Homo-oligomer: A and B are copies of this chain.
Amino acid sequence: MLRSHHCGALSESDLNQEVTLAGWVQKVRNKGFIVWVDLRDRYGITQLVFDEKRTPEAVFKKSAELGREDVIQIKGTVIERESKNPNLPTGGIEILATELTLLNKAQTPPFTIENQTDGGDELRMQFRYLDLRRNPVRENLIHRHRVTMAVRNFLSQAGFIDVETPYLIKSTPEGARDFIVPSRMNNGQFYALPQSPQTFKQLLMVGGFDKYFQIVKCFRDEDLRADRQPEFTQIDCEMSFVEQEDVLSQFEALIKHLLSEIKGVELSEFPRITYAEAMEKYGNDKPDIRFGMIFGNLNEVAKGKGFNVFDSQELIVGIAVPGGANYTRKEIDNWIDWVKRPQVGAKGLVWVKCNQDGSYKSSVDKFFNQQDLGEWAKVTNAQAGDLIFVMAGDTLDTQAQLSALRMEVAQQMDLRNADEFAALWVTDFPLLEWDEETQRYHAMHHPFTAPKNEYLELLETNPEKVLANAYDLVLNGNEVGGGSIRIHDTQLQEKMFSLLGFSETEAKEQFGFLMDAFQYGAPPHGGIALGLDRLVALLGGSETIRDFIAFPKNNHGRDVMIDAPANVTDDQLEELYLKSLPKDPS
């Protein structure tokens, strides 16, 4: 071992000990006759002192030449510091150095290795190995390690078995786009990387494993929206002989355990709302419930008053911004501009100030009298001093737009506190959604999700009305997990594939093994998958998953540090019986 102690270990109880330390030079302060060096490693910082009088001459001379990030080993004696630093565990001592070995000379790094660095995002990604030396980055990843260990131990103790499922599987067109892997031994054929181990975990249930979990990499070849990665990590779970309630209570317990273990936060029972209720109250199926501004439906009280803009609309809906009556006209105009941005896409915003004296002032005073506006205040639960924002239009668009406004207002009012946690379950999702473009149904969750028993008959007549045994776990306005009770019956699964537009041949070709498996005694089963990257980020007080991934890719799916993807040799392609085509110039 090149050290007797690490750099966070020594304190006043170690005085006069002879020690050997190794680490990186964080800082050098050279006073001419004395040189102080901050030596850093993963565990902390220890101050070294090289003293003209007390340090051997050659060593002292060498110490003056040290530069930032040099890797050194020193021997010396633990002595008491003259001016102690109470903020540092090692702040009471320093090491009077007697030997100094330069283990590796460092070039000056392209950015400072400090909590607040001067390096931009791109530079930090290119030199990620240097970025990893910064405390906040390292702490994020140690936090990730703690979370995964807590998850594994919790699930293992709850009887779940960690089973590794294969990475080289088969491409299926349902869902997102697969990454594919040419097979050399099976010319012209390809493996696919899993988008999730869905079918394998269901087969494990057919195989009698009863409770399965895995923390597993999944892959989706999608155009990357902000903060999405082509490879991501999932806490994947499945249980047999369960109903929805069993899955919910098991994983509610897991999330509570994590919050308690990692954050010291004790949550009480998670609220549950249906998808329909979530859309109605928050315009969003992953509502942030740390704050109010619950949607009020104004259809009944705002239509038929001669305001044409409203009368023809499917939905008129508003929220009450607490204390918003103080907004200046300019501030309100800024919000109107904000909702008109193409990212939000609203046509405009009607507003009503609820004055302290009980009167109302609105942008539509011409059409609505005080009593009308009082009704609006009632429906949106607005108090004196609040500001009501109202939008109107098609239901889905308007809900999405007002939800965006609600989140942004909360953000600006600091209502989205990263240290406060609010989780909920959203249940009763529709089984299918109609896709206008392809003129067919898509599975809202995935094709293996079971419809609720009481809706089975509607599958024939009104498939879009069928609700599913599907549920999402929402934390602080982020979907951190989703799951369902699965179909375990061959006929129902066949019916489902046919609703989704699969021909019998296609269904058999792609999922024949699963439908075969169901014929040999599949138990009722269900499960959930939690997005580990997102969960770790939220528990770490952030919504940026990239900060919690050691070697993330950029928005073009590139690793700029190792410069991947890259060209391969012609020999490699030939062996795979592949040819690269020139890029279409169009």
Closest residue to A69 on the B side, CB-wise?
B521
Q: Among B133, B168, B577, which residue has its beta carbon within 8 angstroms of that of A564?
A: B168
**B42:A210 contact, CB within 8 angstroms:** yes
Bound together, the chains give a CA A168 to CA B563 distance in angstroms of 11
Q: Which residues of B contact A133 (CB under 8 A)?
A: 207-208
A185-B557, A520-B129 as given contacts; A167 in contact with B169, CB under 8 Å = no
**Cross-chain contact B521 with A104 (CB below 8 angstroms):** yes
The answer for the CA separation of A527 and B231 in the assembled complex, in Å, is 26
For A503, list chain B residues within 8 Å (CB).
Answer: none
* A3 closest partner in B (C-beta): B241
A315 within 8 Å of B by Cβ?
Answer: no
Residues of B within 8 A of A574 (CB): 581
A138 & B209 in contact (Cβ 8 Å cutoff): yes
- Are A156 and B149 touching (Cβ within 8 A)? yes
- Report the separation of the CA atoms of residues A556 and B209 in the bound assembly, to the nearest whole angstrom: 28
Output the least CB separation between A337 and chain B (Å): 34
- A7 → B minimal CB distance (Å): 10
Contact B129 A565 (CB under 8 A): no
Interface size on A, residues (CB 8 A): 129
> B104 and A170: CB pair below 8 A?
no
- Tell yes or no: A507 within 8 A of B by CB: no
A272 at the binding interface (Cβ < 8 Å): no
Copies in the assembly, this chain: 2
- The answer on a CB contact under 8 Å between B565 and A170 is yes
Determine if B208 and A41 form an interchain contact, defined as CB atoms under 8 angstroms apart: yes
**Contact residues, A234-273 vs B (CB, 8 A):** 240-243, 245-246
Q: With an 8 A cutoff between CB atoms, is A95 at the interface? A: no
Q: Are A132 and B204 in contact, with the CB atoms below 8 A?
A: yes
Q: How far is the CA of A572 from the CA of B127 in the complex (A)?
A: 34
Nearest CB in chain B: distance from A102 CB, A: 10
- The stretch of A176-184, A340-348, A363-371 that contacts the partner chain: A176-184
- A578 proximal to B (CB < 8 A): yes
CB-contact partner of A521 in B106, B169, B241, B569, under 8 A: B106
**Set B22, B168, B513: member contacting A565, Cβ < 8 A:** B168
Tell me if B209 and A42 are in contact (CB < 8 A).
yes
Beta-carbon contact of B180 and A576 below 8 Å: yes
Contact B69 A169 (CB under 8 A): no
Measuring CB to CB, which residues of chain A are less than 8 angstroms from any residue of chain B?
A: 1-3, 6, 22-24, 40-43, 69-71, 73, 103-107, 109, 127-133, 138, 141-142, 144-145, 148-149, 152-153, 156, 161-171, 173, 177-193, 199-200, 203-204, 206-210, 217, 219, 221, 223-224, 230-231, 233, 240-243, 245-246, 488-489, 513, 517-524, 549-551, 553, 556-559, 561-569, 572, 574-583
Can you report 19 residue pairs joining A to B where beta carbons are below 8 Å apart?
Answer: A1-B241, A24-B208, A103-B488, A107-B519, A129-B204, A130-B520, A141-B161, A144-B163, A148-B162, A165-B550, A167-B167, A168-B219, A170-B559, A170-B564, A177-B575, A180-B181, A184-B221, A189-B565, A189-B567
Known interface pairs A2-B524, A131-B207; 4 further A-B residue pairs with C-beta atoms within 8 A, sorted by A's residue number? A42-B210, A166-B559, A180-B181, A513-B562
